[in-house]
Amino acid sequence: MTQQWLSLDPPIPHTHTHTHTHGCSFLVMAILAQLSRTSRSACWFRHRKQLFSSFRRHALIRRSMASDPAATDTTRFDFLVIGGGSGGLAGARRASELGAATAVIESHKLGGTCVNVGCVPKKVMWNAAVHAEYLHDHNDYGFDVGNVRFSWETLKAKRDAYIGHLNRIYRSNLDKAKIQTIQGHARFTSDPEPTVEVNGKKYTAPHILIATGGQPSVLCDDEVPGASLGITSDGFFELETLPKRSVIVGAGYIAVEMAGILSTLGSKTSLVIRQTTVLRNFDSLISTNCTKEMQNSGVDLWKNSQVKSVRKTDKGLEVTIATKDPEKKNEEEKIRTIQEVDCLLWAIGRQPNSSGLNIGEMIVDTDEKGHIVVDEFQNTSRAGIYAVGDVCGKALLTPVAIAAGRKLAHRLFEGKKDSKLDYSTIPTVVFSHPPIGTVGLTEDEAIKARGKENVKIYKTSFTPMYHAITSRKSQCIMKLVCVGKEEKVVGLHMQGLGCDEMLQGFTVAIKMGATKADFDKTIAIHPTSSEEFVTMR
């Protein structure tokens, strides 16, 4: 059993002025760029859908008149869900509550990404890392905790036990709801009526939901020699020991979170990013601050850098990195290596799980990356087939998939024609150190949409009271993006202790159309960090 010793000093440098921060890591977003793309295709799509629906009506009439002998071998449901992750399970359970005979097909473990290799185990690891930070602060608050050491093995065993417990809860929830669980890979057949085959058996339903989610993107060895020696976030959750030396590649929220967890738990961590900041889709204040917090907390940041090759040696991996500052045109590309790496983690994006479904057969449209194209009601281009969640590539978040799945169930089985998810104002939290919370437009987006003269920004930064008596410090930064004369709040961005729990209520208000004056009218809760939002000038 390997154990890592945590000395109470080194990983977190001490700074003495409030302009410096310690910190670490971050959260979840990357949605906005995708939003604009899908909204375009959604319009285009409505026209096509009309064409298809008339075509399909004819098909239905033909089929109901013919007696199809093959249909007897096919098990029929009212609602067939492919994928037992957050979106699929939520849709299935709601449909079943509304009286639909429902089945869920899952090839792996119930719960999908969120429960098995996403939000839940990630936050457990983040919580463990937060304890590492607390342990630095205990002395300042009067506790003598002496020497501590960290056992990754203990944590992993407990985390796995908890996840196993959740898998069982999901299974029993399905059983209780009388939803049939079918284990295996689903593949669409060439039958005239949309039908899937799982382990040689055929299943069909008038409504089929694709909720197969996504997986981390990987590079092949042709692109980067030795790339396959690295792991992804999926592999992170299989690590049996804390890596001594980690290299994370990527600048998105997953890279930020993984680097933050590993670094805070005591792994010497390097983060390799192509440009100069992390979380570039976020508001520039967050992007800049998060980059700074990571560096202050001891993450070794490689800017303007790309991994060129990876080689296995008897002491671990040797990662070769090319660095070139695009601003310095005359400068040669620098080639350097990191030695003795025991964890190389690619966090370079996610891709949809759509390739094995044979959806081409169904004339279900996908975009160039394989995301299933859906309209605002989650309809695909083929009537009777729907898609929700990460496989659609829009707002890759558990609650989004859950809400979309439920809304769809209400539309299909309760006759609520207008039931659809509003994809605007979706809040996101990145579990960095300290955490990030963000909802709505960034400052740049607001200026682009409304013009600089119509945008008003309110900002503040302060040291949270928790740090009033600690030598370890981290800042809390906050920004409100307001538009128009009425100063309607269209964006809220923050990073600091407690921001993960702060965001939800503000999102409700922003979705209601809250203005800066509404913020001002609200009475503060003292002493909290969130009160700064209602006392900002």
Partner 1 sequence: MAALWRGRHRWKRTNCLHVLTRNLTGKYDYDLVVIGGGSGGLACSKEAAQLGQKVAVLDHVEPSVKGTKWGLGGTCVNVGCIPKKLMHQAALLGTAVKDAKKFGWQISEPICHDWSTMADAVQNHVRSLNWGHRVQLQDKKVKYLNIKGSLLDEHTVKGLTKAGKETILTAKNIVIATGGRPKYPTNIPGAMEHGITNVALECAGFLTGIGLDTTVMVRSIALRGFDQQMAGLVTDYMEAYGTKFAWQCVPKRVDKLSSGVLQVTWMDNNTGNEHKDTYDSVLWAVGRAPETKALGLDKLGVQLDKETGKIVVGADESTSVPNIYAFGDIGEGRPELTPTAIKAGKLLARRLARHSAELMNYDSVPTTVFTPLEYGCVGLSEEEAEKRLGKDGIEVYHAFYKPLEFTVAERDASQCYLKVICERDGDQKILGLHFTGPNAGEVTQGFALAFQCGATYSHLLQTVGIHPTCAEELTKVNITKRSGLDATVTGC
CA distance 12 to 467: 14
Q: How far is CA 142 from CA 15, 315, 467, in A?
A: 20, 42, 14
Residues 504-523 that bind partner 1 (CB under 8 A): 504-509, 511-514, 518-519, 521-523
Q: Name the maximum alpha-carbon separation found in the chain.
A: 81
Residues 432-451 that bind partner 1 (CB under 8 A): 437
Task: Identify the residue among 211, 391, 403, 409 touching partner 1 (CB under 8 A).
Answer: 403
CA distance 344 to 322: 16
**Residues 385, 205 contacting (CB under 8 angstroms):** no
Stretch that binds partner 1, among 64-72, 228-236, 350-358, 528-536 (CB under 8 A): 528-536
Task: Identify the residue among 315, 355, 465, 486 touching partner 1 (CB under 8 A).
Answer: 465
Q: Does 175 help bind partner 1 (rule: CB under 8 A)?
A: no
Q: Does 486 help bind partner 1 (rule: CB under 8 A)?
A: no
Q: Does 306 help bind partner 1 (rule: CB under 8 A)?
A: no
Q: Between helices 284-296 and 443-450, what is the axis angle to 10°?
A: 170
How many residues lie near partner 1 (CB under 8 A)?
99
Task: Identify the residue among 134, 235, 274, 308 touching partner 1 (CB under 8 A).
Answer: 134
CA distance 118 to 192: 37
**Residue 255 annotated as part of some ligand binding site:** yes
Residues 69-108 that bind partner 1 (CB under 8 A): 86, 89
Query: For residue 474, which of 9, 10, 25 has the smallest C-alpha distance?
Result: 25
The residues with which 204 forms a beta bridge, in sequence order, are 76, 195
Joined tokens for residue 490? 């269209």
Burial 254-286 (b: 16+ CB within 10 A, else e): bbbbbbbbbbbbbbbbbbbbeebbbbbbbbebb
Task: Identify the residue among 131, 244, 324, 369 touching partner 1 (CB under 8 A).
Answer: 131
DSSP state of 389: G
Q: Does 340 help bind partner 1 (rule: CB under 8 A)?
A: no
Q: How far is CA 537 from CA 41, 279, 309, 517, 534, in A?
A: 41, 27, 51, 11, 9
Q: Does 318 help bind partner 1 (rule: CB under 8 A)?
A: no
Q: Does 269 help bind partner 1 (rule: CB under 8 A)?
A: no
Task: Identify the residue among 321, 397, 408, 455 touching partner 1 (CB under 8 A).
Answer: 397
Q: Does 24 help bind partner 1 (rule: CB under 8 A)?
A: no
Nearer to partner 1, 44 or 143 (CB): 143
Task: Identify the residue among 9, 73, 144, 418 touching partner 1 (CB under 8 A).
Answer: 144
Q: Does 283 help bind partner 1 (rule: CB under 8 A)?
A: no
Annotation says 526 is catalytic: yes
Stretch that binds partner 1, among 326-334, 362-370, 479-487, 529-537 (CB under 8 A): 529-537
Question: In sequence order, which residues have a C-beta less than 8 Å from that of residue 246 and are 6 or more positions away?
Answer: 259, 262, 263, 267, 268, 269, 270, 341, 342, 343, 344, 345
**Residue 272 annotated as part of some ligand binding site:** no
CA distance 237 to 156: 8
Task: Identify the residue among 151, 295, 337, 351 touching partner 1 (CB under 8 A).
Answer: 151
Nearer to partner 1, 44 or 141 (CB): 141
Nearer to partner 1, 270 or 475 (CB): 475
Q: Does 164 help bind partner 1 (rule: CB under 8 A)?
A: no
Catalytic residues: 526
